[in-house]
């Protein structure tokens, strides 16, 4: 399985080069890999249906609990097959969509990167590995939405998607860490077996918040739903793949996968159910009143995601069963409709449903695919969508709480779906011709995907036993256990559920008739920003930028003296507070048994400082500073630190050399500062000095940790073969620190060089 | 601003200083000294030369751009951490030769690392000094 993920990543890197060689034949070649991985996963199905999950473990950072562990049970298998199977068709479709585009190698590369990451999410067992893949999908989604990077709208939509899903990702990481702490393991399979441990843990509320925010942002649940319709700025294959069939389902997938360990509380059930139901209704209404094909499809996707969330909230066995059926049915018909919409747009340049009609004679194959998918979406018997609709009604009927409310919400949104399906899948082909459109011929590669998916949506109706046994039932068993077996049936006979289905279609057709009269709604402010979620997003984004500007102009103001002042003040304040609070004043003992040479040294130092602060020329100041430096070196010498002495002497000497070079270039030495500023500086300096003096005093009056000293002095010779403990610490015990320090040194040198040497010459400044 | 006294003195002092810097570098493991101090002394030698004979001349004597020294030093420091990795110990664990080299004592990766420190320090000081002197 690691091989599967890694081979997709490897192909992602190779794709641009392959594209340069194979040109338009590149896409079918690339599709071979996900295709064969898809068959590999299908071949695992019988084994998993027997209840034997497939596991694989690779150590990554074992000390942190982060490992590449893969664990494929029914739920993972269903998603893995969808990711690779639909991925294969999308890659082939992209071959037609980008035909003749020499730069599209980049597109395949990003698409495969996403595919690998998405596959990683659905088969990872380790929370950290899952999180890494999760973030990778956010990033690749950002790059794919912004694929037309010269378009302003694409870029801002991409950024919006990244900020919303990335922000949710941060919450998710926090949730994962807490979940791991609560359960005592970072492996999902182990967490799910830990029983009610997580639910009763004191961290549980935080775990739920983190995981839900992460899942809701990714799966575009209200109030984070707005990024998904905007993400339609992406090319059609991306919309069909990421923003309908796979990535947006990552959120609900995660909730389903963690369902056994975190779902068994009223908080979870109610939050998830209510958010799901609201999202479902909102998405359906918004979809029905939009006129842009891709936006309509995006909103209905939001609605389906809401429905999936609601099913997880309902949580009974038949709900989890319906979850699997709906995921599969939706991927098939929505994938098709996105591809159909994308093809129509590509060939005719039009994506407003009001202007489309009568295209069947010119695009017959596409028309068949579109109308098959639309029938499935409507829920007409003989299509797999019908089976899905029956399953969700069945689940809502069996819900323990508020069953009636959930059914009403489902019927309303499904009825709205009927209208959307007719508008997007049928009207463009069989409706009356609205305006003259020039339509190009469809490349064969662009027809494979839609036809295949829509035919499968038709064929699956007739294969309920097979699907139920190998895909759907294992997927719900993975979540809720094997208690009783629900058999997937295409036809339940005449019962309440069938009645609801008929009712749905009837209401849907009525809505379709009346929709044109609601045409003006799509222009209203409600339609653009329902419940103000977008404006909240925009205002908070503007707030962050304003804060950034404020702190940059206040703190990062470019005056070195202010940086130093601030740094010193903050350090002194914090160190001072800790020092005052935690010092045991009684243990301090001051001794004044100075020897003569020590007293002399102190007098020299004090005199040097006095001269330094009152100096009236730069040369005097430098000399005084030098005297101070050498005096400090002597202090080191007296207290037995020859290494420090040597270093200090060298540094002092080099400082003098540096001053010699710059002395004559500096402007005249005058006091520019005001009295008040100088007073402030004097106070700050005295505070720092006093603090340092006190710190040294305390440090020296505490009994030195002789253990440490002894450890180093013996180990230095025994293990590092050196008697100079200071140097042995520098180059052996703490070599990594030293490596960091010399790196800083190198960076500082480059900085100095850049400041002094890379200035534009003075005379060309005006021209530049 | 050329002074005959300074340049004659430098001619005598510079080899001595460079020798002393090597001495400080090699004795560092057992006595006060080491790569950092050695590097500072060597850098002082070249700085003195730059004062006496001009930066042009100093660069010519050094032969190699101090910025390149920075890079080489960092690289040497980094490489010295690698042998332990191949012996499947943690990065930067000291690895020592079995035999002692007559006159020098045992050699091992910490010495190589110290050489890296030495080069970076020389590179740093000279980059700063030369840049300042030329600006």
Q: Which of B3, B31, B35, B37 to mutate: most A Cβ within 10 Å? A: B37
Domain ranges of chain B: 4-134
Q: Which of A63, A648, A650 to mutate: most B Cβ within 10 Å? A: A650
Model confidence at A705, pLDDT cuts 50, 70, 90, reads low
**Which pLDDT score, from 0 to 100, does residue A3 have?**
86
- The region of weakest confidence among A86-100, A460-474, A559-573, A680-694 is A460-474
Of the ranges A575-584, A655-664, B91-100, B116-125, the best mean pLDDT one: B116-125
**Which pLDDT score, from 0 to 100, does residue B51 have?**
87
* Distance, CA of A308 to CA of A318 (rounded, Å): 13
**Which pLDDT score, from 0 to 100, does residue A765 have?**
44
Tokens 């702190």 locate to A551
User: In B, which residues are within 8 Å of A642 by CB distance?
Assistant: 32
Q: Whose CA is closest to A372, among A359, A358, A385?
A: A385
Question: Crossing angle for the helix pair A293-314 and A403-421, nearest 10 degrees?
Answer: 160
Whether pLDDT at A768 is above 60: no
Tokens 């990766």 locate to B109
* Distance, CA of A173 to CA of A298 (rounded, Å): 27
- For A19, the token pair is 């594209």
**Which pLDDT score, from 0 to 100, does residue A746 have?**
92
**Which pLDDT score, from 0 to 100, does residue A527 have?**
62
Q: What is the pTM of this model?
A: 0.74
Q: Which residue has the higher pLDDT, B33 or A115?
A: A115
- C-beta of residue A121 within 8 angstroms of C-beta of residue A133: yes
- C-beta of residue A154 within 8 angstroms of C-beta of residue A145: yes
Q: Whose CA is closest to A207, among A178, A180, A187?
A: A178
Whether pLDDT at A764 is above 60: no
User: In A, which residues are within 8 Å of B28 by CB distance?
Assistant: 724, 727
Mean pLDDT for the stretch of residues A746-750:
92
Cis? peptide before A196, omega within 30° of 0: no
- Chain A, nearest residue to B97 by Cα: A721
Whether pLDDT at A703 is above 80: no
The answer to whether A656 faces chain B, any CB pair under 8 Å, is no
* Distance, CA of A745 to CA of B66 (rounded, Å): 13
**Which pLDDT score, from 0 to 100, does residue A230 have?**
86
DSSP chain B: ---HHHHHHHHHHHHHHHHHHHHHHHHTTTSS--HHHHHHHHHHHHHHHHHHH-HHHHHHHH-S-HHHHHHHHHHHHHHHTHHHHHTTS-TT---EEEEEETTTEEEEHHHHHHHHHHHHHHHHHHHHHHHHHH-
The CB-side HSE value for A106 (13 A sphere, CA atoms) comes to: 9
Inter-chain contact A661–B133, Cβ cutoff 8 Å? yes
Model confidence at A485, pLDDT cuts 50, 70, 90, reads low
Q: Which residues fall within 8 angstroms of residue A309, CB to CB, at 6 or more apart?
A: A216, A219, A221, A252, A255, A272, A273, A275, A276, A279, A280
The whole-chain average pLDDT of chain A stands at: 85
**Which pLDDT score, from 0 to 100, does residue A255 have?**
92
Whether pLDDT at A490 is above 80: no
Model confidence at A234, pLDDT cuts 50, 70, 90, reads confident
Inter-chain contact A738–B78, Cβ cutoff 8 Å? no
Tokens 């890079």 locate to B71
- The region of weakest confidence among A28-32, A61-65, A123-127 is A61-65
Mean pLDDT for the stretch of residues A458-472:
85
Which residues 62-81 of chain B have a CB within 8 Å of chain A? 66-67, 70-71, 73-74, 77-78, 81
Mean pLDDT for the stretch of residues B88-101:
73
The answer to whether A745 faces chain B, any CB pair under 8 Å, is yes
Inter-chain contact B117–A749, Cβ cutoff 8 Å? no
DSSP A415-466: HHHHHHHIIIIIHHHHSPP-S----PPPPTHHHHHHHHHHHHHHHGGG-HHH
Inter-chain contact A745–B32, Cβ cutoff 8 Å? no
Q: Which residue has the higher pLDDT, A81 or A100?
A: A81
User: In A, which residues are within 8 Å of B94 by CB distance?
Assistant: 719-720, 732, 735
Residues A283-313 have pLDDT tens digits of 998 888 888 888 889 999 999 999 999 999 8
Q: How many CB atoms lie within 10 A of CB A509?
A: 14
Mean pLDDT for the stretch of residues A317-335:
90
**Which pLDDT score, from 0 to 100, does residue A766 have?**
42
* Distance, CA of B125 to CA of B73 (rounded, Å): 13
* Distance, CA of B36 to CA of A646 (rounded, Å): 10
Instruction: For residue B104, give how far its alpha carbon lies from the nearest alpha carbon of chain A (Å).
Output: 13
* Distance, CA of A493 to CA of A257 (rounded, Å): 33
**Which pLDDT score, from 0 to 100, does residue A526 have?**
63
The answer to whether A666 faces chain B, any CB pair under 8 Å, is no
**Which pLDDT score, from 0 to 100, does residue A124 have?**
92
- Chain B, nearest residue to A749 by Cα: B124
Burial of A416 (0-12, 13-18, 19+ CB in 10 A): buried
- Among the partner residues A651, A723, A735, nearest to B40 by beta-carbon distance: A651
Whether pLDDT at A321 is above 70: yes
> How many angstroms separate the most distant Cα atoms in chain A?
110
Instruction: For residue B13, give how far its alpha carbon lies from the nearest alpha carbon of chain A (Å).
Output: 15
**Which pLDDT score, from 0 to 100, does residue A445 have?**
84
User: In B, which residues are within 8 Å of A745 by CB distance?
Assistant: 70, 120-121, 124
**Which pLDDT score, from 0 to 100, does residue A729 have?**
82
Which element (helix H / strand E) includes A108? helix A105-123
User: In B, which residues are within 8 Å of A643 by CB distance?
Assistant: 32-34, 37
- Among the partner residues A647, A721, A752, nearest to B128 by beta-carbon distance: A752
Whether pLDDT at A674 is above 50: yes
Whether pLDDT at A767 is above 60: no
Residues A181-228 have pLDDT tens digits of 888 888 888 888 887 788 888 888 999 999 999 999 999 898 888 888
The answer to whether B31 faces chain A, any CB pair under 8 Å, is yes
- C-beta of residue A441 within 8 angstroms of C-beta of residue A365: no
Q: What percent of chain B lies above the pLDDT cut of 70?
A: 92
Whether pLDDT at A558 is above 90: no
Instruction: For residue B132, give how far its alpha carbon lies from the nearest alpha carbon of chain A (Å).
Output: 7
Mean pLDDT for the stretch of residues B70-79:
92
* Distance, CA of A501 to CA of A313 (rounded, Å): 22
* Three-state secondary structure call for residue A187: strand
The answer to whether A738 faces chain B, any CB pair under 8 Å, is yes
- Among the partner residues A647, A657, A742, nearest to B116 by beta-carbon distance: A742
The answer to whether B123 faces chain A, any CB pair under 8 Å, is yes
Degrees to nearest 5, angle at CA A441 with A438 and A447: 130
Residues A430-456 have pLDDT tens digits of 888 777 777 787 788 888 888 888 898
Task: Report ipTM for this prediction.
Answer: 0.90
- Among the partner residues B47, B114, B123, nearest to A731 by beta-carbon distance: B114
The answer to whether B38 faces chain A, any CB pair under 8 Å, is no
Residues B5-37 have pLDDT tens digits of 888 999 999 999 999 999 988 887 778 888 889
The answer to whether A555 faces chain B, any CB pair under 8 Å, is no
- Chain A, nearest residue to B94 by Cα: A732
Buried b / exposed e along A158-167 (16+ C-beta atoms within 10 A)? bbbbbbbbbb
**Which pLDDT score, from 0 to 100, does residue A264 have?**
83
Which residues 79-118 of chain B have a CB within 8 Å of chain A? 81, 91-92, 94, 96, 105-106, 108, 110-111, 113-114, 116-117
- C-beta of residue A472 within 8 angstroms of C-beta of residue A47: no
User: In A, which residues are within 8 Å of B73 by CB distance?
Assistant: 742, 746
Which whole-number Å values give the CA distances from A573 to A551, A560, A565, A703, B75, in the listed order? 20, 20, 12, 26, 39
- The region of weakest confidence among A614-623, A724-733, B97-106 is B97-106
Q: What percent of chain A lies above the pLDDT cut of 70?
A: 95
Inter-chain contact B129–A757, Cβ cutoff 8 Å? no
Residues A518-547 have pLDDT tens digits of 555 555 656 666 667 778 888 888 898 899
- C-beta of residue A348 within 8 angstroms of C-beta of residue A363: no
Instruction: For residue B74, give how far its alpha carbon lies from the nearest alpha carbon of chain A (Å).
Output: 7
* Distance, CA of A518 to CA of B39 (rounded, Å): 81
User: In A, which residues are within 8 Å of B34 by CB distance?
Assistant: 643, 724, 726-727, 730-731
- For A571, the token pair is 């350090």
């Amino acid at each position: 399985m690691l091989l599967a993920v890694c081979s997709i990543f490897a192909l992602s890197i190779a794709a641009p080069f392959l594209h340069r060689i194979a040109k338009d034949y590149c896409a079918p070649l690339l599709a071979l890999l996900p295709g064969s991985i898809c068959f590999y996963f299908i071949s695992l199905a019988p084994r998993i249906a027997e209840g034997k999950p497939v596991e694989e473990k690779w150590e990554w950072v074992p000390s942190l609990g982060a490992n590449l562990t893969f664990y494929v049970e029914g739920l993972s298998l269903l998603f893995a097959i969808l990711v690779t199977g639909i991925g294969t068709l999308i890659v082939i479709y992209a071959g037609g969509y980008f035909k003749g585009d020499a730069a599209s190698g980049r597109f395949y590369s990003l698409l495969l990167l996403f595919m690998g990451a998405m596959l990683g999410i659905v088969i990872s067992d380790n929370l950290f590995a899952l999180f890494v893949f999760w973030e990778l999908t956010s990033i690749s989604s950002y790059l794919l939405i912004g694929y037309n990077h010269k378009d302003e709208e694409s870029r801002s939509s991409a950024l919006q998607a990244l900020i919303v899903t990335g922000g949710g990702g941060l919450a998710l990481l926090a949730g994962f860490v807490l979940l791991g702490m609560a359960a005592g393991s970072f492996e999902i399979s182990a967490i799910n077996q830990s029983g009610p441990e997580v639910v009763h843990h004191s961290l549980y509320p935080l775990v739920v918040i983190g995981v839900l925010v992460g899942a809701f942002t990714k799966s575009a649940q209200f109030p984070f739903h707005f990024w998904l319709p905007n993400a339609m700025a992406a090319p059609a294959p991306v919309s069909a793949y990421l923003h309908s069939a796979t990535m947006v389902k990552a959120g609900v997938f995660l909730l389903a996968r963690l369902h056994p360990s975190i779902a068994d509380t009223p908080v979870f059930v109610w939050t998830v159910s209510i958010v799901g139901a609201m999202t479902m209704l909102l998405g359906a209404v918004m979809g029905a009143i939009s006129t842009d094909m891709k936006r309509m499809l995006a909103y209905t996707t939001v609605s389906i995601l809401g429905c999936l969330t609601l099913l997880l909230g309902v949580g009974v066995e038949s709900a989890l069963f319906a979850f699997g059926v709906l995921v599969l049915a939706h991927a098939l018909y929505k994938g098709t409709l996105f591809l159909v919409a994308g093809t129509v747009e590509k060939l005719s340049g039009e994506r407003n449903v009001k202007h489309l009609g009568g295209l069947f004679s010119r695009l017959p194959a596409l028309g068949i695919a579109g109308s098959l998918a639309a029938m499935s979406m409507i829920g007409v018997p003989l299509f797999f969508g019908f089976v899905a609709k029956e399953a969700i009604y069945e689940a809502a009927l069996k819900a323990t709480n508020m069953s009636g409310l959930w059914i009403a919400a489902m019927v309303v949104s499904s009825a709205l779906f009927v209208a959307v399906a007719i508008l997007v899948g049928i009207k463009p082909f069989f409706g009356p011709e609205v305006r003259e459109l020039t339509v190009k011929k469809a490349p064969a590669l662009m027809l494979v995907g839609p036809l295949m998916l829509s035919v499968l949506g038709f064929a699956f109706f007739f294969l309920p036993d097979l699907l139920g046994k190998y895909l759907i039932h294992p997927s719900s068993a993975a979540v809720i256990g094997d208690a009783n077996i629900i058999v997937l049936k295409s036809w339940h006979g005449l019962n309440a559920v069938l009645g609801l289905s008929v009712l749905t279609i009837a209401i849907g057709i009525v809505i379709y008739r009346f929709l044109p009269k609601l045409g003006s709604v799509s222009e209203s402010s409600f339609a653009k920003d329902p419940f103000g979620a977008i404006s909240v997003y925009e205002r908070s984004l503007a707030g962050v930028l304003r804060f950034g500007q404020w702190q940059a102009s206040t703190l990062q103001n470019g005056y070195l003296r202010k940086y130093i002042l601030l740094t010193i003040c903050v350090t002194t304040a914090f160190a001072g507070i800790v020092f005052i609070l935690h010092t045991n004043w009684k243990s301090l003992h001051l001794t004044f048994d100075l020897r003569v040479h020590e007293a002399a040294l102190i007098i020299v130092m004090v005199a040097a400082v006095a001269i330094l602060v009152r100096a009236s020329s730069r040369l005097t100041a430098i000399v005084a500073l030098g005297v101070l430096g050498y005096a400090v070196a002597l202090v080191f010498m007296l207290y037995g630190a020859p290494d420090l002495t040597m270093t200090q002497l060298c540094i002092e000497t080099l400082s003098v050399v540096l001053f010699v070079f710059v002395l004559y270039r500096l402007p005249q030495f005058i006091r520019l500062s005001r009295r008040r500023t100088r007073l402030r500086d004097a106070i700050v300096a005295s505070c720092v000095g006093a603090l340092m003096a006190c710190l040294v005093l305390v440090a020296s009056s505490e009994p030195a940790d002789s253990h440490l000293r002894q450890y180093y002095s013996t180990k230095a010779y025994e293990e590092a073969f050196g008697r100079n403990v200071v140097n042995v610490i520098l180059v052996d015990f703490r070599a990594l620190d030293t490596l960091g320090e010399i790196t800083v040194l190198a960076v500082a040198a480059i900085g100095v060089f850049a400041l002094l040497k890379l200035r534009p010459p003075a005379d060309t400044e005006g021209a530049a | 601003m050329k002074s005959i006294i300074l340049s004659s003195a430098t001619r005598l002092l510079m080899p001595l200083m460079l020798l002393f810097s090597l001495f400080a570098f090699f004795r560092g493991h057992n006595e006060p000294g080491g790569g950092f101090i050695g590097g500072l002394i060597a850098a002082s030698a070249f700085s003195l030369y730059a004062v006496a004979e001009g930066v042009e001349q100093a660069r010519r004597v050094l032969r190699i751009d101090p910025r390149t020294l920075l890079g080489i030093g960092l690289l040497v420091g980094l490489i010295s951490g690698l042998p332990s990795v191949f012996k499947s110990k943690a990065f930067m664990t000291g690895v020592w030769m079995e035999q002692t080299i007559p006159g020098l004592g045992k050699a091992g990766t910490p010495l190589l690392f110290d050489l890296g420190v030495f080069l970076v320090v020389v590179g740093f000081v000279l980059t700063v000094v030369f840049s300042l002197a030329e600006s």
